[in-house]
Chain A
Amino acid sequence: MKLSRLIFTILFLFAVWVLLTGGYKDPQELVTGFLVSVVVSLFTGPLFTRRGLYHLSPKRLWGKFVYLFVFLIELVKANVDVAKRVLSPSLPINPGIVRVKTKLTEDMDKLWLANSITLTPGTMTLDIKGDELFIHWIDVKTTDVEEAGETIKGAFERHLGGE
């Protein structure tokens, strides 16, 4: 378990290094990058991830991949929505704070869900406590926990939870 965490952190850091430097021509750069990732991983590996290589299982990666597209579409919708609200003279807002329950258990998944909620139309995560998310909703349509959850989380939770 510990080793898997370490390897996952090293792989992740090294991938970022390669992308940032574009250094596939110079072996010296690659070696330096690898050594630095190993040293950093030794210190931060346990903090960075809890499940290690489990995150790289094909099923989870595919889930993340599909999720990215769903998410980008929602992001564009959110921005058009905000632009409409901001630019319309009457400023149509109807804000409220609602509570939503999530079925996700992984901390990383919750983080992604919270991030997605913040970036989708009219909602922003205020706080997470256990399995409850508190959400500031710019245009409240319903106060029911279940119904609000379905409207806000929508497809995200299904894609993120795809294990």
Chain B
Amino acid sequence: MFLTVMTYMGYLLLFIGCFFLVVSAIGILRMPDLYNRLQAGTKASTLGAMCTIMGIGFLHPAWWVKCFLLSLFILMTNPLSSSVLARASLRSGVKPYKLVVNECERYLNEEKGDN
């Protein structure tokens, strides 16, 4: 009984994970510029990957601890890397799409003044 519940939980998590991975892929295709693409890509793919890995953990209880650790690593490093990508592209002058406000321009100019 317990094993059946675990199996169903595992498949459910796998399904949710796959759904969010697909959403992130669609997001990357549909969004207009790099920053919005990163937004869609990071969030959905982080939860997607975590859910998929945890689902595997539920299906193979012996791997549970490793899977948990893996998803924790993804949780820590994924947003970091997307932040770094966004920062690098901002500094190398990738133009954002139709901003409502932009507090960054002044700051980037200050940076240029410093150097």
Contact = CB atoms under 8 A, between A and B. Distances in A.
Contact of B66 (A22, A75, A124, A134): A22
B82 interface: yes
B47 A76 contact: yes
Interface residues of A, number: 38
Given A19-B69, A78-B43, A79-B47, A97 B27 contact: no
A20 B42 CA distance: 25
A119 B45 CA distance: 10
A93 B37 CA distance: 12
Nearest to A83: B23
A94 B46 CA distance: 23
State the main secondary structure of chain B at its contact with A.
helix
A123 to B, nearest CB: 8
Interface stretch (A25-33, A38-46, A136-144): A136-144
Interface in A75-107: 75-76, 78-79, 82-83, 85-87, 91, 93-99
Interface string B62-85: 000110110000011001101100
A118 interface: yes
B36 interface: yes
Return the 4 tightest CB-CB contacts between A and B, nearest first: A118-B79, A96-B100, A86-B27, A96-B101
Interface of A: 16, 19-20, 22, 75-76, 78-79, 82-83, 85-87, 91, 93-99, 111, 114-116, 118-119, 122, 124-127, 129, 134, 136, 138, 140, 143
